[in-house]
Amino acid sequence: MLKRKIYDDLLKWKNTKNKKPLVIKGLRQVGKTYIVKKFAEENYANVIYLDFRKNQELRFIFNHSFIINDLISQITANIRDAHAIPYHTLIILDEIQDCPNARSSLKYFYEDGRYDVICTGSLLGIKGYSKKHDNAIPVGYEEVVYMKPLDFEEFMWANGIEDNIIEELKICFRECKEVLPAIHLRLTDLFRKYICVGGMPEVVNSFIETGDLNRTLKLQRNILESYQDDFGRHLKDDNSLYVDQKELASILAVFRSIPSQLAKENKKFQFSKIKEKEKSDNFKRALEWLEDSGIISRSYNLSIPELPLEGNKINDTFKVYMQDSGLFVAMLEDGTQADILNGNLLIYKGAIYENIIADAFSKMNRKLYYFHRNSGLEIDFVTRFRGKCTLIEVKATNSKSKSLNTILDDKEHYHVERGIKIRDGNIKQIGNVLYLPYYLVFLIQEY
């Protein structure tokens, strides 16, 4: 079993008094069902499991009454060996996006209070997925958490990096002292592998078991195909599934343009680069679909690099990154994995390393921002760190940070005191710039 951070969140939820039903959102195949079943097995004497995608006939259970005794009667009558023991039972509602009435019932499970309920869904954020039921979400009666692919710390756990080493990394980060050379080299190599493998559990497990990157690439491309099978999918009024072909074509076009969008010197996302003479409005909803599903993240340009960042963002100027670096690399041509591991990438290396940092921040549930001016000033990421606005530059090579130094030195126009440069080298502090190796990005968190 892969050790996942969300397991601790599940334990905290279980031990909360008067708890709301828990809804776990996340990409398909990030391990939602597995971790919930494992948690249920280890923490509950009695579990009832409903999968609305696999067993579509179970949806009718929620078509008539939301009285909990009635629902329990229907559930136990239709699921063999199901027993509902009040205050000792966990009910798992899997793929709940395919049964909107089950989502609506959460209010009544909460008010009743006798049963713990966990729901999982991979398309829960899609506006218009179920046009008839989109307004039926029980606002205020559920707790929502997001599950994402493995971050680098989880990847280190999976690869047997000892807890004492990770604790030492945290001490080095806090005290700004160099990581021991042997550990630095080991983790630099492991981070390059993480860029290629990413954090999808099936892919990580395959890599741990075999080390075969050709196999991981095949698995990644299968996952990408499965995502594309969901593009444009909706739930009809009778709860059957259908695909909007026009929407499908738009989402595919936007999705397939991401690698070339990040190849530009100015990585700003441009709808005109998807298809010439096509109106941008035709693609805006497609981009929202990819974002709502959790496949991509947007990073917004700032009018000024100052707090609050959300208040200074420019809504129509943004970059687009994939939320899993391994899947992003799998979208590129064969041989890219070897180029990353061997350090053979040239100009496009910057796009890959920017994406992995965006990926890391997204897994912290951080919003993404950057700063660009036509004068040539460009800061890859701007974030809040230790209470202050912080500039972050990602360097695929150990080149100079001209834009970062320009802004930090210009006290008249900018009020930024701190910068972080992420690169291949070890930790060090020079003036007000902290130099960090890539593998420590998971520690840039705001508590």
Same domain, 38 and 140: yes
Domain annotation covers residue 94? yes
Domain annotation covers residue 391? yes
Same domain, 359 and 383: yes
Same domain, 85 and 193: no
Same domain, 405 and 438: yes
Question: Which residue, of 102, 119, 146, is where some domain finishes?
Answer: 146
Query: What's residue 115's pLDDT?
Result: 98
Phi then psi for residue 422, to 5 deg, are -100, 125
- Report the distance separating Cα 405 and Cα 403, nearest Å: 6
Query: Can you give the pTM of this predicted structure?
Result: 0.93
Same domain, 63 and 128: yes
Q: Which residues of the chain have pLDDT under 70?
A: 124-136, 276-277, 396-399, 446-447
Query: What's residue 1's pLDDT?
Result: 76
Same domain, 327 and 363: yes
Same domain, 39 and 166: no
Same domain, 186 and 69: no
Query: What's residue 78's pLDDT?
Result: 94
Phi then psi for residue 76, to 5 deg, are -70, -25
The beta-strand segments (E) located in 241-397 are: 241-243, 296-302, 313-322, 368-372, 378-379, 381-385, 388-394
Structural domain count of the chain: 2
Domain annotation covers residue 265? no
Same domain, 391 and 431: yes
The per-residue pLDDT for range 353-394, each reduced to its tens digit, is 999 999 999 999 999 999 999 888 999 999 999 999 999 999
71: CATH: 3.40.50
User: Angle between the 201-210 and 181-197 helix axes, to the nearest 10 degrees?
Assistant: 130
Same domain, 54 and 194: no
Domain, as residue range, for 312:
153-230+294-443
Domain annotation covers residue 366? yes
Domain annotation covers residue 141? yes
Query: What's residue 125's pLDDT?
Result: 62
Domain annotation covers residue 263? no
